[in-house]
Amino acid sequence: MKNRFKLFTLAVLSIGLLAGCGSQGSGSNPPADTAAAAPGSGTAGALAKIKEKGVLVVGSSNDTPFAFIDKDSKEFVGIDAEIIKEIAKRLGIPKVEMKEVKFENLLLELNNKNIDMVTDGMYVKPEREKIASFTDYWYREGEAIVVRKDSDIKGIDDLKDKVVGGQKGMTFLEYAQQLQKEGKIKEVKIFGSQAELLLATNTQKIDATITDSATAAYTIAHDPSLSLKLVSPYTAHYSGDIGAAVRKNDQDLLAAVNKELEILKKEGFVLKVLKKYGLNEDNMASNK
């Protein structure tokens, strides 16, 4: 997954400045006036007010394959998008509307009451839980080993004599370089983009690549020219549990979403969505 921690830290500082005394940045629960729910919501029934409005407004950075507007259909699609749209449908909310927000500003916009939820492949982390309430885990996401379909590489142990690619600026490149220092990878080559990484693997310029699993899986699934696959089963070294975020006061909305999410997992809907975007059972997450 993209290295968003530094940007997130800046957002936390911004929230602290806006909130003043008793700010979220101090680690305390946000005061009622700053953590109030979206327009027409709050402790008096966030879910009821959203139903009355008929629209659930969710924030996303328009991030493929998590939650984005398809350039052709103009529809709100993606892993998180499909899950939240199904949940909204079952809750009796007829429409889900995406508001595009820079990733580092998503929780800020949430607490500024400009969106009802954040649904954008966001890792649930302790520092983020000081600012917002998170749902039960939707799925897990981290790095993957990508190889050609005819490759016999089955895991890290098979990379000792292999050339592996990594993308500049990503945590997963640092992991590959760490493995090289440990003698578990022969050589690491650095590329400027995910597209270059996958092309180099496809044309056998490198033996494998270590990169973001969801993005790679989506690209492979939608580009028939790539004869690639994700090594599976595989347990990610750098992985995180992903959930949606709501304001601290919107506990009725949180509870309702969690209830429907549990049903979707039992019915196999979540796994079906993951597979649609190139992921698999490795990415399923248990509840908190």
What is the mean pLDDT, run by run of 10 residues, along the chain of 288 residues?
43 39 32 37 75 97 91 95 98 97 93 97 92 96 95 97 91 92 97 91 98 90 93 89 97 98 97 91 83
Do residues 38 and 252 touch, judged by C-beta distance below 8 A?
no
Cβ 79 vs Cβ 273: under 8 Å: yes
Amino acid in position 286: S
- The fourth-level CATH superfamily of domain 5-23+44-138+243-283 is Periplasmic binding protein-like II (3.40.190.10)
Euclidean distance between CA atoms 277 and 104, whole angstroms: 24
Measured CA to CA, the distance from residue 107 to residue 101 in angstroms comes to: 10
Residues 113, 34: Cα–Cα separation, whole Å: 9
Residue 44: its pLDDT value, please? 54
Report the C-alpha gap between 161 and 154 in whole angstroms.
13
> Hey, where are the domains in the chain?
5-23+44-138+243-283, 142-230
The CATH class given to the 142-230 domain equals alpha beta
Return the pLDDT at 171.
Answer: 77
Residue 181 and residue 175: Cα distance in Å, rounded?
Answer: 10
Answer whether the bond into residue 233 is a cis peptide, omega within 30°. yes
Query: What is the 3-class SS of 52-85, one letter each residue?
Result: HHCEEEEEECCECCCEEECCCCCCEECHHHHHHH
The pLDDT score that the predictor gives to residue 32 is 35
Q: Do domains 5-23+44-138+243-283 and 142-230 have the same CATH topology?
A: yes
Answer yes or no: are the C-beta atoms of 260 and 50 closer than 8 Å.
no
pLDDT value at position 186? 97
